[in-house]
Amino acid sequence: MFRTALRNVLAHKARLMMTALAVLLGVAFVSGTLVFSDTVGEAVKKASAKSFRDVAVSVQATSDGPPQEENGHRTTALNDKLADRVRALPGVAAVHANVSGRATIADKDNQPIGNDWQNVATNYQPGAGGKDSRYPLVRGRGPASAGEMALDEGAAAKAGLKVGDSVRFATDGPALHKTLVGIVHSEDPQVTAGGSLALFDTATAQKLFVHPGQYDELVVTAKPGTDEKALTAAVEKLLPKDRATATSGSKLAAEQAKMVEMSNQALSKTLLVFAGIALFVGIFIIANTFTMLISQRSREIALMRAIGASRRQVVRSVLAEAALLGLVSSVVGFALGTGIAVTMRAVLDANGAGFPDGPLVITPAAVLSALAVGVLVTVLSAWLPSRKAAKIAPVEALNTVDAAPALRGLVLRNTIGAVVTAVGVAIMLYVSTLKTAEESGLMTAMAGSALTLTGVIILAPLLSRPLVGLAGKVTTRLFGISGKLAKENALRNPRRTAATASALMIGLTLITGMTVAGLSAQRASDEMSAQGLTADYQVSTANFRGLDPELTKKAAHLPGVSAAVPIRSAAFETNGGYGSLTGTDLADIGKVADLTFRSGSLAAVHDGGIAVSRSRAEKLGWKTGETHELGFFTGTEKKEMARIKVAGVYEDNATVGDMFGATTLVDPHAGKPLKDEKVLVKTANGTSDGLEKEIRKALGDSPLLKVQDKDDLRKENAGQIDTVLNMMYGLLGMAVIIAVVGVVNTLAMSVFERTREIGMLRAIGLARTGIKQMVRLESVVISLFGAVLGIGVGIFLAWAGGKMTATSLPTYEMLLPWDRLGIFLAIALVVGVLAAAWPARRAARLNMLEAIGAQ
């Protein structure tokens, strides 16, 4: 029986080719993800370990309360005196006293490079020879005075800077300028992952980020043979209690490696989910293929049963055939996946990911996992067809080549499908009533979506009759006999048609659902961002650290500016939960925000009270005239309690948030130093390029500065949604490709199955072009059937799940993007035409007489 299975694989290479391709693509996705994850993870781990190679102990400063000086720089307990005491300890070879901060570099077009959290800044500490061994010089020298700085080679290249150029950058305020005197090499994972490194002399770094004479970290290097644990304990004894901590270098490296691994796992899990979807789609193709093969080989199986083969042997033979196919496909798929991993890394690097250099890592676990997944999916997909093969009665099979599916089987299937679909729809209708988007609700929505999709897949043979029949009327009217034959062929075996269409349906369900939900959320976000906003500009910073209130005052006095209104906030806790109180300029807030009061008034807020939005007031049960106690967070466990009067209730307005009052009310409870989260600017004559430049100049012209009008705000929101959707399209594209393979496979095997029928059609006068047209139309009908089901289910799931989005986006309403839905249908049409190209050509080239005589 094993020899028979091997012979069947070799005898049906062409028929199994497309099935093997489906397995191959799915395994390639899985193996590519695993290899990419292992390779990047190992490279980052090595880079992290290398960055801690000379670190025996790291002394980190802890928070030391509010700033002691007007410049708002943090204070620390680490100073030169403490550094000298640590240097004097036995076993200490050297101590580097580091100042840490963030500096965002501007390129030639004044655009910031890198992300703020990756834009590292520190002090250059020259040792022997006037060089800092941690940062090898590539060109130039290290910074030695207040007007100088150095950059890592990646940042310099991105900004288009060379030694001698003036560097424009920002730390947490207006733009600064210094001369670039050196370019260094850095192996800091944050920098190599797309960030930047800015180096200053120690005095300058302290002036920028901390108080003079203070540091953020002391890095201790040990002499050879020194016990790291004992040295850490000795250093810890010198530290002021609760103001600094000492951690061994090995522990820091382990912690960073763990963080890297967790981050890597999150990416891997995301990619593996989409790989799983691709493999799930492949299951339909594999099961369809083996069902058709077994149907075509029913005489052969009957003869084997007649000469003594048991049902168990028949099952084992089919499963062995599937296992061989899965193994060969998985081996080739793993090789392709390795290439995908290499390509993925190169593409992400080219788009700024900046992964550390490192060799390709192929672990035994990745190899075994990919091979096991491929073989297991193929064998499981062939299990039901193998059981069907074992049930073939020898005499019955010798008398008929292709038995139609039993009606009773379809009745049972339809009953199960109806129950599963009903349960899924009921769950999704329940989800549509949820008022909060909690984790339990999300899990319920996922379960309901899975059940609904599964139920529709089970019901697909039943649904195929009316939908394919409707499409058949169109094809018959437009293409005559070829269109009618295409419809009859698609309806001849509803199970096969349904399985083929379901593969495409799954991909389009997910794509449609995400598109509808994503674009609906985008529109709601657009409306929220502009809700109640009458200002011409919104000014904020890319690093979300806010603006100096003094700069806001400067902007208010610019010619052409009628109002510059600050927005700052303080977090609080009350009986109804947590919230944020917005502080603003009450005299001018009406110029930049359209406020509609339901009770009370803006004038009443001037008298020391607060205004509350309608939805927040209803949630808390607050009414105008009442007084409530708020506990403001101060950065410590103790809250500052304050009793505040509700002076009015206004219609929801995203510009001022849930509550607002005067800045004088909010400032005592806000963080220090005071920062304006954003500034709303109203101009006398609308927006203009000249005025925007003047606003930037008045606010320090920092590369971190964002001056946006309403269109800019909408584009920013749209760009974020489009980026996510494009990523999803790319990841789900593999599932759609596998579905296309399934259509090709089904049509090719269907042509082989109908060889005699095609010969008879040719004999009674149907031309080759008619045969081609028939196969193409059958493919188009099946593809459009899958697309209509997928789009319909996707819209329903987006509608039900989208209701939860309305809890965070009150303006959320489902938007049907007809243009994109039309594109999805067009894609299905193109898929049908392209998938039929080879089977249609093969059918048209069949020899008429040989086809009629085929057995």
Contact present, 622 and 612 (Cβ < 8 Å):
yes
Distance CA 737, CA 571 (A): 50
Q: Which residues contact 355 (CB under 8 A, 6 or more apart)?
A: 40, 43, 44, 192, 193, 345, 348, 349
Contact present, 547 and 674 (Cβ < 8 Å):
no
Contact present, 782 and 500 (Cβ < 8 Å):
yes
Tokens describing residue 318: 């089919």
* pTM above threshold 0.85: no
Report the amino acid identity of residue 648. G
Interior CA angle at 751 toward 750 and 755, to 5°? 120
Q: Is the dihedral of CA 796, 798, 801, 807 positive or negative?
A: negative
pLDDT of the residue at 404: 45
pLDDT tens for each residue of 735-749: 777 777 777 777 776
Overall size of the chain counted in residues: 855
Q: Which residues contact 820 (CB under 8 A, 6 or more apart)?
A: 515, 519
Dihedral (Cα; 135, 138, 141, 146), 10-degree rounding: -60
Burial (CB count <10 Å: 0-12, 13-18, 19+), residue 628: middle
pLDDT of the residue at 380: 85
pLDDT of the residue at 576: 66
- Identify the residue whose tokens are 């392209």: 834
* Rounded (10°) angle between helices 755-763 and 710-753: 80
Give the percent of the chain with pLDDT over 70.
86
Distance CA 80, CA 213 (A): 7
The H or E element that residue 81 is part of is helix 80-87
Using H for helix, E for strand and C for coil, what is the string for 93-150?
Answer: EEEEEECEEECEEECCCCCECCCHHHEEEEEECCCHHHCCCCCCEEEECCCCCCCEEE
Domain extent listing, the chain = 1-52+264-403, 53-258, 460-532+710-855, 537-708
pLDDT of the residue at 623: 92
Report the amino acid identity of residue 542. A
Interior CA angle at 327 toward 325 and 332, to 5°? 95
Residues of the chain with pLDDT under 50: 64-70, 400-408
Distance CA 139, CA 153 (A): 9
pLDDT of the residue at 123: 94
Tokens describing residue 323: 């296992």
Q: What are phi and psi of 338, to 5 degrees?
A: -60, -40
pLDDT of the residue at 403: 46
